[in-house]
Structure 1
């Protein structure tokens, strides 16, 4: 649990009483590889911190899934749009490795926002960060080639390429696995 405290303190340090209140609401969950955290059509009720693991966000399709996000150690994961609106999710979330999460329910999260000194500040800064990540992803898809997106991914997260199946990486950068293979050959 110290990872989440350290992470939150980099955003906006919590005093001990606020931390005690917040941490009392957290539930540790250990998950196996390929566990579904949220199914399409279900409402998101949790914000989770990834203590260990890799998680994929995707839209299941008959021909092949459309992967649009990966999350790693020391990052938050949620279907944020579903959490905010309490409407069914249009995508799924699954673990790609054995994963340890610290979860807080939406109800408890709202209580943290109301009863702590800087819960709202942390929430706002996390929402701003999620927006920036989403914006960067959208701009990349609109303005960069598949090869440039692959190189960006490799430079941003080199560990990704060793731990995630290439079919998911291909989907993430918007190409077929065969096209990704050609990109990788050109680069090497």
Structure 2
């Protein structure tokens, strides 16, 4: 739980009483590799902090899944649209490695926003950060080549990328596994 406190304090430090109130709302969950966290069509009720692990966001398809997000240690994960609107999710979330999460329910998070001095600031900054990540990905898909997207992903997370199956990486950067194989050959 120390890592979530450190992460939050880097955004906007919480005083000890606010932290105690917030931390009592957190629930620790340990998940095995390839565990579905949220199924398509289910409503997201939790915002989770990844203490350890790699998580994939994707749309299941018969021919091959469409992966559009990876999340790692010290990041938050949720089906944000579903979480905000309390409507069914249009995508799934699964673990790619053994994962430890600290979860807070939507109801409890709203209470943290109302009863702590800087809960709203932290929430706003996290929402802004999620928007920036999404915007960066969209612009990357529009402005960069597949090779540039791969190199960006590889330079951002070289060690962790080794744990993600290549078919998911290919899907994430918008190409086939065969095209990714050619890019990797060219780079090496």
Matched, 1:98 2:98: yes
How many residues are treated as equivalent by the alignment? 188
Matches within 5 A, 1:7-156: 7-156=7-156
TM-score, normalised by the number of residues in structure 1: 0.99
Find the counterpart in structure 2 of residue 172 from structure 1: 172
1:60 to partner: Cα distance: 0.2
Q: Distance in 1 between matches of 2:162 and 2:14?
A: 35
C-alpha distance after superposition, 1:55-96 (max 9, x if no partner): 000000000000000000110000001000111000000000
SS of 1:18 mapped into structure 2: helix
SS of 2:171 mapped into structure 1: helix
TM-score, normalised by the number of residues in structure 2: 0.99
Task: State the superposition RMSD in angstroms.
Answer: 0.5
Structure 1 range deviating more: 153-162 or 66-75: 153-162
SS of 1:100 mapped into structure 2: strand
Runs ≥4 residues deviating over 2 A = none
1:160 to partner: Cα distance: 3.1
SS of 1:163 mapped into structure 2: coil
Q: Distance in 2 between matches of 1:100 and 1:81?
A: 23
Name structure 2 gaps, 5 residues minimum: none
SS of 2:162 mapped into structure 1: helix
1:161 to partner: Cα distance: 2.3
Q: Distance in 2 between matches of 1:161 and 1:97?
A: 12
Q: Distance in 2 between matches of 1:161 and 1:50?
A: 16
1:42 to partner: Cα distance: 0.4
